[in-house]
Every structure is written in C-alpha cells, then in structure tokens.
Structure 1
Amino acid sequence: MTFQTQLDELLYLYKKHYMISYRKDELNSSSQLMALQSQINPHFLYNTLESIRAQAELDDALQISEMTEALAAYFRYNINRGGDVVPLEDELANISNYLHIQQFRFGERFSISFMIDGDRNTINNQAIPKLTIQPIVENAIYHGLEETLTSGKITIRVTETEKRILLSISDNGKGIDYEQLEMIHRDLQADTSASGSERTTGIALSNIHRRIQLLFGDSFGIALESTPMVGTTVHITMPKQAYQEENK
C-alpha cells in the first residue's frame, strides 16, 4: 500500500468522524451515534501514522515525517479529546497542524499568519467550542483560495477588548457573490443549519454560530462579510470566559 493510498484512507476515516461530530444534534438516538462511532478505531489511525512516520525517517523523507506527525496530532485532537469546550490555545494549535498538512498539498499556493492583540495568557485560556475555527479555515482554502491563480493568504487575528474576545479569519480568495452571501446571512439569523449554507460554504456556518450562542448567549456568534474577487472575513465574537476543566 503506497503512502498516498494510506493517507487517503486515513482522511476518509477522519471525514466520517468529522461529520459524526457535526450531526450529533440531528441523530435520533444515542444508539445511532454509538453505531457510527464504533466504525472508527483511533488506534488504527495512530499506529498507521506512526508506521508511515518511522518509514519516512528511515528513507530520509523528512517532509513526509513532519507532515505525518502533524496529521497524528490533528487526529488525536479531533477524535480523542473529550468535551465540547476547549481553551483557545488548543484550538489554534490544531489549526497550525491542519495548515501544515494542507501546505504539504498546496505548497506555496497560500500562506497563513496569526496576529494576537491582547494579553496572551487571557487569550490562550479563553473558552471556545471545539472545532470552531478549523471548518472556517477549511472553507477559506477550498471555497476561497483553491481556484485562485494568485498567492492565497489566510489571516487569523485574535483581539482582546475590555469584555470580549474577537476572532477574525480572513482570506484573499474569490469571495462570495451577493445572493449566496444573503442566503448565509438568512441562515445565521434564523439560527438553522439549512442546506443553503452547506452548499455555499461546505460546512454550515450556522452550526458553529449556534454552538457559540449555546455556550455564551444570543449576543455572541458569527458575522460574515465578503466581496467577490477580494476575499471573505468571518468574525467570531465571544465574551471573556476562562476555560475550566468542568467545561468538559
């Protein structure tokens, strides 16, 4: 089995797990959820990745070794860590691993920058729903940057104010046309995971919006702005709330 074949199989298994985590509230019974989750064996993922990494090191394929290590950390975060709430520091570390994996595929076609404006300890320990940022970054790559001919750029900015933590994820991709943007805005305002946002962004932003509101209240959540051929920015607003172990 080639490295690419193994990687494709691992990504398929992860995608299955990823969709399970986003459909928890849509499943009719816990038995359905358990049946789906039982199809995924984390030990298989880690053992296979470790075998790939070890072989890559023996072959002096350091890039493959580094990418595989990042992939293992990415899977571990997404599959093993309990709880729906995590510290922002962990969420950003997961994004770094995800982008490292994507850059293995896309090379120099896009770059990423992180900008932190505020007390780093406060920001690092900010509570945030798990897997809030990664779907937005994935949208930026696959729906914003993948079809562009120029060098893509993603900027993740975290800003601390007196009472809030503000997150923005920006790209300089193809943007979203007016009709699609209005459809997404309606989905967010209606607080539904309608199929419209899934068609236009790949992952329902309304799902993320709803999870933020469930944790912090209706005054917080997602806002979106986009200009065709200029780019898209997703804004996330949260109150300052330190992560606590009991959030798990």
Structure 2
Amino acid sequence: MSPLAYALLFVAGFGGGFIDAVAGGGGLITVPALLATGMPPQVALGTNKLQSSCGTAIAVWHYAKAGLMKTPWLWLGVVLAFFASMGGAYAVSVLSKDLLKQLIPWLLAGVAVYTAFNRRFGIQVGKQRISPFVFAILFGIALGFYDGFFGPGTGSFWTLAVVSLLGLELRGATGYTKAANLASNLGSLLIFLGNGSVHFAAAGAMIGGQLLGARLGSALVIRQGAKFIRPVFLTVVFAMTLKLLWDAWGG
C-alpha cells in the first residue's frame, strides 16, 4: 500500500476510535476503509478486530479509572463474551450468515426507534429488571457469540440491554458495553490470527489513530455523561441500520 493509504487508515482509525468509545459502531468507518485498500474481506475483518481492540482497551482503562465498571458480575459477562466470541468466529466457517445479514438491520432499526421515542432512555438510573448474574450469563454468551460470528450492532445491543434490564444510565452502560466488547474482540481476534487473516502493517497505521480517538471519546463521555452519549448513539445506530439495509437488500 502507498503512504497515502496508510495515512488515510490512520484518520479512519481516529474516527472509529472516537465513535467506538462514545457509542460503538466505529466499524462503520474502519471496515470500509480497510476494504477500500483492496484487501480480502476476511483479512479486513481480522485487521479491524486487532486495531479496534487497542482503542477499546484504552477506553476501558479510562472508564475503569472513572469508576464506571463496578456493576456486579460484570467480570462474568466479560469472560463468557470472550469464549463465546471464539465459538462465533469459528462458526463463521461452517454456518451461513445470510439470515442474520437480512434480519439484523431491522433489529437495529427497532433499537433506534425505541431510543428515539423514549426520551428518558439512559438519562437517569432506571429500574433493574434482571439480576446482574443472570444478565451476565445470558448476554455474555449470546452477544459474545454474535460479535464473533457477525458483529455489526453488538455495542448497540449491549447498551440497550444494560440500560433496559440492569437500569444503568448511559455512562455506566457504556462502561459495561466497552468491557464486554473488548472481551469479544480479543476472543474472535485469536481465531483470525490463527487463520492468518490480519494485515499487521495496516493495523499498525490504524492503531495510532484509534488510541487518540478512543482517549478523546472516553474523556468526553466521562465529562459530559448521558446527554452527550444519547445523540451520538442514535446517529450511529441509524447510520448502521441504513448501511446494513443497503448491503442486505439494495447493494
């Protein structure tokens, strides 16, 4: 690749790191950027897992320092997401993703509509509807597997689940989401590395941008809170929904 391509990947990494730290969905920026270099799709996905893991790790560190990762049994959800994502990444080679490709955009659209019309979504601490232990088991396995198998919208699904079922406000939900996302990224990354599906030079170019973007995004979340996260979250979910609908039905 040319020096210009690496420079553009650095910029894409910055944008993806910022969006990921705030609301998830940075892959909307980073995956198309990697594909635009001409690398095979499986290599683009593996490279994206490597670079996004670095940015997510920075965000997790900042959120932990700010005390946003004290939810009971969070560690269990993280561990289960890690191992379930490995199973999901392995299943990619033997199962069809066609049904998910057509179904997920509509689920994301539901998330977006629910959030848009529920004006108090995540603004204040809500009511806990399920025990943190049961939540960690159910969603650690289900969303961890999904992230390894397919991936788009994982952060949005985590955020909706944490706010709706555990009653956390959006800052705390973002901390939980990032911890679980990091685990599932790392688990599936191991599978991609084993398959040789990572372009290390491209990942290196993006990691620098990721670290800067994740640091800036996580700092804004900690300072500004739910009123800042909500519009970014909605924008990302709507954009991801439209892109996936186009990919599944119109592309």
Q: TM-score, normalised by structure 2?
A: 0.26
Q: Which has a greater percent of helix?
A: 2
**Greater fraction of residues in strand:** 1
